[in-house]
Structure 1
Amino acid sequence: MPFEWVTDHTKAPDNSGAFCFEAGDPPLAELHMWPYRSLPRRGFVLFMGATCAMLLLPLSAVLGTAILWVMLPFMGLTIWGLWALLEHSYRSGEILEVLKLWEDRVELSHQAAQGTKAWDANPYWVNVVKQDKGPVEDYLTLRGGPRDVEIGAFLSVPERQQLFTDLTRLLSN
């Protein structure tokens, strides 16, 4: 799954009592989320190798003729275009959302190639809202800080439903 609980949020915390949080204490729960990559780097290498091999087959039939020089730039442009578009896809998919929950604070950071966005609020006031109408099905937002923020928009529908269940249970305590 493209999200992982770094700390076990199902166990009781080591320290108990009201507001025993001190600066520097680890969070009670920490969640990392990232987009699913359907083509890993190894698959990218295999795909590009297979594409080059398939494009070389027609070129072998015209070796030694003038048609080779007409076809060669177009095939090179095709390979370069595939390479550039897949690399762009990898760069745009380098997103990491990190949610950290303490007794008195919740933080969400969205790290992308364009920069980092951060949000924090008091967990007492934070609600997880699932909206039917939004950019994606079962659109999740955190409401309760200075502004509403989306969370996990790049996850699949079952993953967002699981995330909604986990966050609702975690923030209701």
Structure 2
Amino acid sequence: MPVIWSITPKAPGTAPGAFALASSDRAEYRLSLMPHLSMGPRGFVRIIAISATVLALPLLGVLGTPVLWGLLPFAGLALWALWYALSRNSAERRALREDVLLTKERIEITRVNPRKPAQHWHANPYWVRVKLAEKGGAVENYLTLEGNGREVELGAFLSPEERASLYHELSRALRQMR
């Protein structure tokens, strides 16, 4: 799950890891949002191995001829390009994240973008409104926070179901903090 809540201190009697309401005035809600990584290291190796096999099949027909040496660099270049694209995509997905800190006095959002400077937004949680545009937004279940004269999108890389779930959890956390 790409949504991780950390609440300190938790309400008494709640199970570890469960979403619970904070129990004191100095409580903090920390939320980390990360994109889902659909391919792990094993999947990466499989894709490269399958691609190498598929690229090698046509080369079997020209084995032992000078044509092999003409085609081999292009097959190697295609395999390297696939490896590079998958590696770069994976690295950028790991670098992308949004962190939300919610206390009684302040809500802060920090979005860490790959190859760009981090973006920051803050407001008083009492005046912040959480909005979910189920239809008609940029995407299905478009989640935004409005406050301090700005409206910011939250969880752009999450699925529509995850954004809807996050909307309900964040609304509940804001109500508790008020």
Q: TM-score range by the shorter chain?
A: 0.7 to 0.9
CA distance, structure 2, for counterparts of residue 126 and residue 140 of structure 1? 13
SS in 2 for 1:103: coil
AA of the residue aligned to 1:156: S
Specify the alignment match of 1:24 in structure 2. none
Deviations 1:59-88 (A, max 9, x none): 233221022022212211211221222123
Query: Which of 111, 114, 120 does residue 122 from structure 2 map onto?
Result: 120
Quote the offset at 1:115 in angstroms: 1.9
Specify the alignment match of 1:102 in structure 2. 103
Specify the alignment match of 2:63 in structure 1. 63
Specify the alignment match of 1:130 in structure 2. 132
2:50 matches 1:47: no
CA distance, structure 1, for counterparts of residue 85 and residue 20 of structure 2? 41
Deviations 1:116-150 (A, max 9, x none): 11111100000101123232111111001231110
Specify the alignment match of 1:155 in structure 2. 158
Structure 1 unaligned regions, length at least 5: 22-26
In structure 2, the CA distance between the partners of 1:135 and 1:141, relative to structure 1 (3 Å rule), is same
SS in 2 for 1:172: helix
Quote the offset at 1:92 in angstroms: 3.3
Quote the offset at 1:107 in angstroms: 0.6
- Of 43-52 and 157-166, more deviation after overlay is shown by 43-52
TM-score, reference length from structure 1: 0.85
Specify the alignment match of 2:167 in structure 1. 164
Specify the alignment match of 2:15 in structure 1. none
In structure 2, the CA distance between the partners of 1:54 and 1:135, relative to structure 1 (3 Å rule), is same
CA distance, structure 1, for counterparts of residue 22 and residue 85 of structure 2? 47
SS in 2 for 1:148: strand
* Displaced runs of 4 or more, over 6 A: none
Specify the alignment match of 1:12 in structure 2. 22
Q: Percent identity?
A: 39
CA contact (8 A) 2:35 2:157 kept: yes
CA distance, structure 1, for counterparts of residue 173 and residue 34 of structure 2? 20
CA distance, structure 1, for counterparts of residue 143 and residue 21 of structure 2? 25
Figure out how many residues of one structure are paired with residues of the other and give that number.
163
CA distance, structure 1, for counterparts of residue 150 and residue 22 of structure 2? 30
Structure 2 unaligned regions, length at least 5: 11-18
SS in 1 for 2:120: strand
CA distance, structure 1, for counterparts of residue 125 and residue 107 of structure 2? 6
CA contact (8 A) 2:21 2:173 kept: no
Give the superposed CA RMSD.
1.8
CA distance, structure 2, for counterparts of residue 153 and residue 34 of structure 1? 10
Specify the alignment match of 2:13 in structure 1. none
